[in-house]
Chain A
Amino acid sequence: SENFVGHQVLRITAADAAQVQKVAELQDLEHLKLDFWRGPTQPGSPIDVRVPFASVQAVKIFLEAHGLSYEVMIKDVQELLDEEQEQMLAFRS
């Protein structure tokens, strides 16, 4: 199974059209293997992106360098998935 240990979901806030465009540029960086849960649309709308562990540092540096504010929405995706699995298994047992 795919492992999501260390993957984080960041909620980014783009204040204006230029910042939205910056996030769109981030979206084009395929090597970062980002998974946009809510893509960049308009200023003020939250942008949620799952960032693999290997890309977390690079993405945060990019965001900070361009003045984009963000918060960590999910600290470790795998932790949530483990909880989900445990709950399903508990139900079955």
Chain B
Amino acid sequence: RASSTDTFNYATYHTLEEIYDFMDKLVAEHPQLVSKLQIGSTYEGLPIHVLKFSTGGSQRPAIWIDTGIHSREWITQASGVWFAKKITEDYGQDPTVTSILDNLDIFLEIVTNPDGFAFTHSQNRLWRKTRSATSSPLCVGVDANRNWDAGFGKAGASSSPCSDTYHGKSANSEVEVQAIVNFVKNHGNIKAFISIHSYSQLLLYPYGYTSQPAPDQTELHQVAKSAVTALASLYGTEYQYGSIIDTIYQASGSSIDWAYNQGIKYAFTFELRDTGRYGFLLPASQIIPTAQETWLGLLTIMEHTQTHPY
């Protein structure tokens, strides 16, 4: 185990235990800035943790970031770890991060699907879903990004428990989803909601379940354009951007569609880097470059959220 977050190796993939240990160390090293919240427990009883970055105040407007809802997308959890460290490094040093944190809180859920993530380390590296029981005795798990109450069960999700895009028996049936729903609703002042996936280099905004444009589409499109420009400025990684349904395919029950329908205007989902050769098995050597470039895109969205209060 790394003795501190300074000696933690950000350029390799880590187990759930190691990531949770990293979170504890970060909290211990920055008690005035970082705290750890448990927002629920998984189907298999693991704690679901969120890091809160806050410089004070109560129920400040906040930004939500989650990584790893699809457990096999290891680059996302690894990037989440890097983001957490980056925030603590840049607060008080970088004017943009400092300004954001002086006005808003950031909530970062690094492992959104802990059961699935643990399963990818122990049993099946390519597991995508949760690990909950379904109506099928042969098939386990629900696609947590088809389980949200936004066009739930419509086209773009599967009703077959054996499918990798199985939407579950009802909206929020997955405790991992319900935990976020409860948290966001109870908080009541989340202004940006960003879900991070991999791969295929996309930055998407609502909607996925309907072809109807989001009322804020013009602004979201402009923000996305700025974010991918910033992202590409580091290594030239090219992203496409647009609504989910127009850019990739119809997908119902997704997190950002739910968030947007809750009134969280700045709702985005990233699909992180792939060179076109590795898919979900992105070599660990690409963790840091991926996180670095994604951070620039994230910063653009967070800064826009700060400077465009609503």
A contact set with B: CB distance below 8 Å: 1-2, 4, 9, 11, 30, 35-39, 41, 46, 48, 50, 73-74, 77, 80-81, 83-84, 87-88, 91
Can you report 13 A-B residue pairs in the complex whose CB atoms are below 8 A from each other? A1-B124, A1-B125, A4-B125, A38-B200, A41-B249, A73-B279, A74-B279, A77-B281, A80-B281, A83-B283, A87-B13, A88-B14, A88-B284
* Beta-carbon contact of A1 and B122 below 8 Å: yes
Main secondary structure of the interface of B (DSSP, over half): loop
- Bound Cα distance from A19 to B239, whole angstroms: 25
- Bound Cα distance from A72 to B164, whole angstroms: 22
Say if the beta carbon of B211 comes within 8 Å of chain A. Answer: no
Chain B residues within an 8 Å CB radius of A36: 164
* Beta-carbon contact of B279 and A48 below 8 Å: yes
Task: Point out the residue from B12, B122, B124 that lies within 8 Å of A88, measured CB to CB.
Answer: B12
* Beta-carbon contact of B279 and A84 below 8 Å: no
Main secondary structure of the interface of A (DSSP, over half): mixed
Interface range, B side: 20 to 34
Chain A residues within an 8 Å CB radius of B124: 1-2
Known contacts A2-B123, A35-B126, A41-B249; A88 and B13 CB within 8 A of each other:
yes
Q: Closest residue to A2 on the B side, CB-wise?
A: B124
* Beta-carbon contact of B279 and A9 below 8 Å: yes
Chain B residues within an 8 Å CB radius of A1: 122-125
Q: Mark B271-297, 1 if CB is under 8 A from A, else 0.
A: 000001111110110000000000000
Say if the beta carbon of B182 comes within 8 Å of chain A. Answer: no
Top-4 shortest CB links A-B:
A2-B124, A91-B12, A80-B281, A41-B249
Chain A residues within an 8 Å CB radius of B9: 91
Q: Closest residue to A27 on the B side, CB-wise?
A: B163
* Beta-carbon contact of B278 and A74 below 8 Å: yes
